[in-house]
């Protein structure tokens, strides 16, 4: 009986040591988020939503299909653009007169795709 008692104490001690090491976690780094950062992220998401709406328009879908671009892929890739790319694309759409910006926007997307395929950039990680 004493053997089981000593063995159970040894196992219990071993388990306590193992469980104490398992509970050690990596330190978590936290930082303050400024209002400007939150406003910038919100502004970027608003621009990204506007681009998604733009790519869901019937005339844009038709133009993309005419040029052999998969509409769903183009809409998905809007989500993988960086904040700077979203701002550039959104600004160019807003500055161009109605109906004239479609070719430029499609051209920019095709250029982004070609640069990504060539390995110059990593805009679209799925390609």
Per-residue pLDDT, averaged over 82-111, amounts to 72
Q: Look at residue 4 and tell me if it is in a domain.
A: no
Q: Could you tell me the residue range of the domain that residue 75 belongs to?
A: 27-118
The per-residue pLDDT for range 60-69, each reduced to its tens digit, is: 788 878 877 7
Three-state DSSP at 20 gives helix
Greater confidence (127 vs 3) lies with 3
Count of structural domains within the chain = 1
Q: Look at residue 90 and tell me if it is in a domain.
A: yes
| 89 burial level (CB within 10 Å; 0-12, 13-18, 19+) | buried
Q: Look at residue 13 and tell me if it is in a domain.
A: no
- Whole-prediction pTM value? 0.50
């Amino acid at each position: 009986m004493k053997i089981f008692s000593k063995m159970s104490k040894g196992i219990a001690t071993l388990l306590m040591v193992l469980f104490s090491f398992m509970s050690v976690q990596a330190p978590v780094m936290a930082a303050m988020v400024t209002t400007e950062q939150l406003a910038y992220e919100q502004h970027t998401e608003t621009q990204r939503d506007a681009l998604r709406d733009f790519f869901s328009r019937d005339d844009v879908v038709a133009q993309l299909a005419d040029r052999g671009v998969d509409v769903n892929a183009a809409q998905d890739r809007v989500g993988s653009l960086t904040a700077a790319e979203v701002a550039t694309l959104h600004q160019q759409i807003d500055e161009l007169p109605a109906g004239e910006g479609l070719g430029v926007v499609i051209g920019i997307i095709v250029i982004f795709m070609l640069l990504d395929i060539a390995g110059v950039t990593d805009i679209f990680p799925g390609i």
